[in-house]
């Protein structure tokens, strides 16, 4: 038998050495793979965040530009309101707004009937006095508020966004609006702001409106077209800002950051090809392998040394597992030097299991001493408490009590109502006693109360208080019930065993029943007459 054990130890050690070598190789490969994945994700996350920040920045700049342009038009509208009848003044103001900041490709004034009253630049002035019915003009006349129109195609096939401010007379009547237009297929300030985002790595930026129409794109031929087959664009209106890894409409995997222009609801998307983002990763991993090779050799030697001593804590824990039911096992397990993760976890699990076993044994013991109906102690609890009080030499008073005519309650109302009466009585017993008192149900309607350290006078007062509480408590549908109670004290003369004190209390209780029920009888000289109330 000893030879078999020795051989088993040698086999285990060899197995651990082989497992260690395998683990070392596996960990090495895993570390390279993890390093690749982590570095790849870092590059992706960095690119996504950079694109999101850039998109948010350009969305903010675009919003600021549109806000400033609307402010210029607001001031111009106030000026135009005072000179709407002066065509030369209207043209001069329109020309001023056009050249003030180069924000617009054209500026104009339209009256409430949709007639063009002033326009700049000069090549468009042949349209003066004509009815203008473009979607942007119709939208401005309909809304009569500061407005950035939905992008639309003009008669000259320009993709146009119109900004407008209403013109009101001093009496509040609507006179028309002052507006400015941006030709998205031509050079303007907005294109200059957005067109700076372009790199040789293939990253670029584009802008779409709420209808998925491209308002800006590095490929000018695509401006004005609607984007399809792009999940991000389909959901952009409800996303606000963020990042997304996606495949674009031409099948290229992209890393996109996006943001929304608050004023217009346009979506600004900055994106970069995934392949370009992760291209530097291969050389990075090769550098990691070259640096880690000497450390791998040193780590292999260290693993071999650890394998020689790894069996010791496992054997100690196994021995503890075989002796969970023996005294001193917990101290033995605490003494095991679990210096690596698996052993530490096994040690923790064994200690937890040992504590759980002891806790469940304690719970079973408590359940075995508890009456399931009332939650009070049962006869086992009573016997255990008596033995403990006797061992400690601690005096106590005992109260035996019984429900008067309980069988009549069961016969008249059924056992469910009888159970309800028993539970109500148990609750009243708890209210009338101290925290350290022992309350037990010893039979169908019979109960015992142990009051450690209580003199006979105190126990008699408790019994009387309980009798009155039960008498005065109506229990539907029975109504009030009554108790017969007997009180005794230990140690009595002669130092009889505690069980004799219970017998004395029981006899006093039966004396209370014979005396007419609903009363307290005391075994001893303290009270001669019965305590009762009829």
**Distance in angstroms (rounded) separating the CA atoms of residues 430 and 111:** 90
* Distance (Å) of CA 73 to CA 87, 118, 158, 462: 18, 14, 22, 92
| Closest listed residue to residue 56, CA positions, set 210, 267, 301 | 267
- Cβ neighbors of 18 (< 8 A, separation 6 or more) are none
> How far from the centroid of its chain's Cα atoms is residue 244's Cα?
24
Q: Which helix (H) or strand (E) holds 464?
A: helix 456-471
331 annotated active-site: no
**Distance in angstroms (rounded) separating the CA atoms of residues 197 and 119:** 33
For CA atoms 408, 411, 414, 416, the dihedral sign is positive
Active-site residue (options: 95, 383, 392, 445): 445
* Distance (Å) of CA 21 to CA 11, 18, 304, 310, 313: 15, 5, 8, 14, 20
* Distance (Å) of CA 525 to CA 225, 445, 521, 529: 110, 28, 11, 10
**What DSSP character marks residue 206?**
E
**Distance in angstroms (rounded) separating the CA atoms of residues 104 and 190:** 9
Burial class (CB in 10 A: 0-12, 13-18, 19+), 34: exposed
For CA atoms 46, 48, 50, 52, the dihedral sign is negative
- β-strand partners of 147: 164
**Distance in angstroms (rounded) separating the CA atoms of residues 185 and 106:** 14
- β-strand partners of 257: 243, 270
Structure tokens of 247? 């495949």
Which stretches of 212-306 are assigned E, i.e. beta strand?
A: 214-216, 242-247, 253-260, 267-273
Q: At what angle do helices 498-514 and 379-392 cross, to 10 degrees?
A: 130
Q: Phi/psi zone of residue 100: left (φ > 0), alpha (ψ -120 to 50 degrees), beta?
A: alpha
Structure tokens of 436? 């350290």
- Radius of gyration (Cα) for the chain, nearest Å? 47
Positions annotated as catalytic residues are: 445
């Amino acid at each position: 038998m000893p030879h078999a054990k020795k051989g088993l130890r040698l086999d285990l050690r060899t197995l651990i050495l082989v497992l260690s070598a395998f683990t070392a190789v596996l960990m090495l490969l895993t570390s390279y793979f993890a390093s690749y994945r982590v570095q790849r994700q870092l590059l992706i996350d960095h690119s996504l965040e950079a694109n999101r920040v850039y998109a948010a920045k350009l969305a903010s700049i675009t919003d600021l530009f549109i806000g400033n342009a609307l402010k210029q038009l607001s001031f111009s509208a106030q000026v135009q309101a005072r000179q709407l009848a002066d065509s030369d003044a209207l043209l001069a103001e329109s020309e001023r707004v056009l050249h003030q900041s180069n924000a617009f490709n054209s500026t104009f004034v339209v009256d409430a009937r949709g007639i063009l009253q002033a326009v700049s630049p000069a090549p468009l002035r042949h349209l003066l006095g004509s009815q203008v019915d473009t979607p942007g003009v119709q939208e401005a006349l309909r809304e009569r508020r500061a407005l950035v129109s939905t992008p639309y195609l003009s008669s000259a096939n320009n993709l146009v966004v119109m900004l407008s401010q209403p013109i009101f007379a001093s009496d509040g009547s609507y006179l028309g609006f002052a507006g400015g237009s941006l030709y998205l297929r031509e050079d303007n300030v907005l294109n200059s702001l957005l067109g700076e985002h372009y790199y040789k790595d293939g990253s670029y930026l584009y802008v779409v409106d709420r209808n998925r129409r491209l308002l800006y794109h590095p490929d000018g031929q695509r401006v004005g077209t609607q984007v399809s087959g792009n999940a991000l664009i389909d959901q952009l209106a409800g996303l606000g800002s963020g990042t997304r890894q996606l495949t674009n409409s031409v099948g290229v995997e992209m890393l996109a950051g996006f943001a929304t222009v608050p004023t217009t609801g346009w979506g600004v998307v900055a994106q970069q090809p995934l392949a370009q983002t992760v291209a530097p990763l291969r050389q990075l991993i090769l550098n990691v392998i070259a640096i880690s090779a000497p450390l791998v050799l040193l780590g292999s030697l260290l693993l071999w040394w650890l394998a020689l001593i790894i069996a010791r804590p496992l054997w100690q824990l196994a021995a503890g597992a075989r002796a969970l039911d023996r005294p001193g096992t917990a101290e033995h397990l605490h003494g095991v030097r679990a210096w690596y993760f698996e052993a530490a976890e096994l040690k923790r699990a064994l200690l937890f299991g040992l504590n759980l076993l002891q806790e469940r044994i304690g719970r079973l013991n408590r359940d075995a001493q508890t009456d399931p109906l009332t939650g009070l102690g049962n006869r086992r609890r009573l016997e255990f408490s008596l033995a403990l009080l006797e061992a400690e030499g601690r005096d106590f008073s005992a109260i035996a009590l019984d429900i008067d005519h309980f069988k009549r309650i069961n016969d008249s109302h059924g056992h469910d109502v009888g159970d309800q009466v028993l539970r109500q009585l148990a609750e009243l017993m708890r209210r009338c006693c101290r925290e350290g008192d022992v309350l037990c149900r010893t039979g169908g309607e019979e109960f015992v109360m142990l009051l450690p350290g209580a003199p006979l006078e105190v126990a008699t007062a408790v019994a009387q208080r309980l009798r009155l509480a039960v008498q005065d408590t109506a229990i539907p549908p029975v109504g009030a019930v009554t108790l017969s109670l007997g009180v005794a004290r230990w140690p009595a003369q002669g130092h009889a065993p505690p069980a004799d004190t219970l017998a004395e209390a029981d006899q006093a209780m039966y004396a209370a029943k014979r005396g007419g029920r609903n009363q307290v009888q005391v075994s001893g000289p303290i009270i001669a007459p019965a305590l009762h109330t009829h």
